[in-house]
């Protein structure tokens, strides 16, 4: 097949040339008619196969039938043209190509005009049944490309060949669908939305995986109270407590829907965010995280804060996890030991004995401070571990003893706010006996008073 032969075929009266792309815009490549690259053909208003959908507004039955008749007539003529071409020598394997082009119908009725090209590249399509099936598929594809779906009063049966294909065409209706351009826009948007949802899920999962054991176990109950030591020795861990509390809140809301929380801060006194277990929402979430201080100060009395937390559990009357975060260094050295020896001090505060025995969980976090050598044993942490065991909880250590954690000791021991430890002018470091190497390589002396980081100066 070449362009000259194809032109002679198109000039025959039994071939509907107007349904095919003009040959002047085409090339023949191994029997396949192709539209020339970059060719921009302006179709005439009378050219192309009519594909007009039913009107979306009410219309007379005669008008609707006239639309269907014109569509069906064109489609039957197209199939008859292919059928007639296949009777011509050297064109016995001609079929409709998957290539097609369309423009908006000039009548303004929402229809399209479709142009086809022919394909004589495959010997297998000398078989009428296979050829009819291939043409049927490409007619559907061309309609979809134009933004339509096709339904028919009769189904297509490949075994009936072209005669069955014409019977199918005589009952078609074009139904307005979505154009390929619509899908080209929608699919990327849907993929982007799916990606964002996956990222959000991964973010939630990553948040969960980064939660510490004590905070993660808090998800086992719908109510949680974080009891945070804000005494002078604890400022090394406030950022982590804030992150863990935020993660816990998000996971609580995700898991339980209706979840409750309070935050109790303590030094030598206790201060609660709400004074009760309050239902979590966007506002309470912000209130809790904003309540976590940025600067530590004061002494340490653990037991009164725990007592207040247990009283809130009793008032709430539902299983609750208390998460105690402290370095364990209490001004009353025997207070935790007394609780371990007499756990009923806390349990007796709850009227419901079953709740006191099974519904009160205390998880403990022992903070290993920067001024304490990494390998030093901490008797306070042992007490915290025993306390969590007594109240069905878990215990873990947050280690801040590494030198890289000692990045800012602002306003300690007379230093100026906003200056680094290496820039401070400090009084005589009575407790400064431990050298550390800062991230910039500078050696500093860091020591502690009875309960807080107190001095820092450049090493000699």
Q: Across residues 125-135, what is the average pLDDT? A: 93
> What is the reported pLDDT for 4?
82
pTM of structure? 0.47
What tens digit of pLDDT does each residue of 233-249 get?
A: 777 777 888 788 888 88
Q: How is domain 212-401 classified at the CATH fold level?
A: Rossmann fold (3.40.50)
pLDDT above 50 for 421 = no
Q: Across residues 423-430, what is the average pLDDT? A: 35
- Domains of the chain, residue spans: 3-177, 212-401
Report which secondary-structure segment, H or E, holds 140: helix 128-145
Q: What gap in Å lies between CA 350 and CA 312, rounded to an integer?
A: 9
pLDDT above 70 for 441 = no
Q: pLDDT band for 2, please (50, 70, 90 cuts).
A: confident
Q: pLDDT band for 179, please (50, 70, 90 cuts).
A: low
> What is the reported pLDDT for 38?
63
What tens digit of pLDDT does each residue of 93-107 get?
A: 999 988 888 888 777
Closest CA to 232 of 275, 307, 293: 293
Share of the chain above pLDDT 90, in %: 22
> What is the reported pLDDT for 358?
83
pLDDT above 60 for 3 = yes
**Stronger pLDDT, 144 or 237, i.e. the higher one:** 144
pLDDT above 70 for 257 = yes
Q: What gap in Å lies between CA 90 and CA 70, rounded to an integer?
A: 32
In 267-394, where do the E strands start and end? 270-272, 278-279, 320-326, 360-368
> What is the reported pLDDT for 322?
94
What's the N-to-C CA distance of the chain in angstroms?
Answer: 95
> What is the reported pLDDT for 419?
34
pLDDT above 80 for 457 = no
**Stronger pLDDT, 206 or 306, i.e. the higher one:** 306
């Amino acid at each position: 097949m070449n362009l000259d032969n194809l032109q002679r075929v198109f000039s025959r009266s039994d071939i509907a040339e107007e349904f095919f792309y003009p040959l002047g815009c085409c090339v023949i490549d191994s029997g396949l008619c192709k539209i020339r690259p970059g060719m921009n053909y302006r179709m005439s208003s009378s050219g192309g196969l009519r594909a007009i959908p039913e009107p979306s507004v009410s219309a007379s039955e005669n008008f609707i039938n006239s639309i269907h008749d014109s569509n069906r007539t064109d489609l039957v003529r197209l199939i008859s043209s292919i059928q007639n071409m296949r009777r011509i020598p050297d064109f016995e394997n001609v079929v409709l190509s998957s290539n097609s082009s369309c423009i908006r119908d000039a009548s303004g009725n929402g229809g399209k005009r479709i142009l086809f090209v022919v394909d004589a590249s495959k010997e297998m399509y000398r078989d009428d049944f296979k050829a009819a099936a291939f043409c049927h598929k490409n007619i559907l594809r061309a309609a979809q490309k134009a933004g339509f779906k096709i339904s028919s009063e009769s189904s297509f049966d490949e075994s009936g060949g072209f005669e069955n294909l014409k019977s199918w065409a005589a009952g078609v209706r074009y139904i307005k669908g979505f154009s390929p351009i619509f899908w080209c826009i929608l699919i990327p948007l849907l993929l982007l939305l799916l990606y964002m949802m996956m990222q959000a899920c991964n973010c939630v999962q990553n948040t969960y995986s980064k939660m510490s054991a004590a905070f993660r176990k808090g998800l086992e109950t719908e109510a949680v109270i974080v009891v945070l030591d804000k005494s002078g020795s604890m400022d090394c861990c406030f950022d982590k407590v804030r992150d863990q509390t935020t993660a816990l809140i998000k996971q609580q809301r995700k898991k339980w829907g209706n979840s409750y929380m309070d935050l109790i801060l303590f030094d030598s006194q206790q201060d609660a965010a709400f004074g009760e277990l309050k239902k979590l929402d966007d506002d309470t979430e912000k209130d809790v995280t904003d309540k976590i201080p940025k600067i530590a100060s004061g002494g340490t009395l653990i037991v009164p804060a725990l007592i207040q937390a247990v009283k809130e559990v009793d008032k709430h009357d539902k299983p609750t996890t208390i998460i105690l975060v402290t370095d364990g260094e209490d001004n009353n050295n025997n207070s935790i030991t007394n609780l371990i020896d007499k756990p009923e001090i806390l349990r007796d505060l709850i009227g419901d004995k079953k709740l006191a025995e099974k519904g009160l969980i205390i998880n403990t976090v022992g903070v290993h401070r920067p001024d304490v050598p990494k390998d030093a044993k901490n008797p306070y942490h042992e007490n915290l571990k025993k306390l969590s065991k007594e109240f069905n909880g878990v215990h873990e250590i947050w280690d801040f003893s590494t030198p890289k954690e000692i990045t800012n000791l602002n306003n300690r021991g007379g230093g100026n706010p906003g200056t680094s430890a290496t820039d401070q002018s400090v009084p005589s470091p009575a407790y400064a006996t431990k050298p550390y190497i800062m991230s910039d390589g500078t050696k500093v002396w860091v020591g502690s008073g009875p309960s807080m980081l107190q001095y820092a100066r450049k090493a000699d």
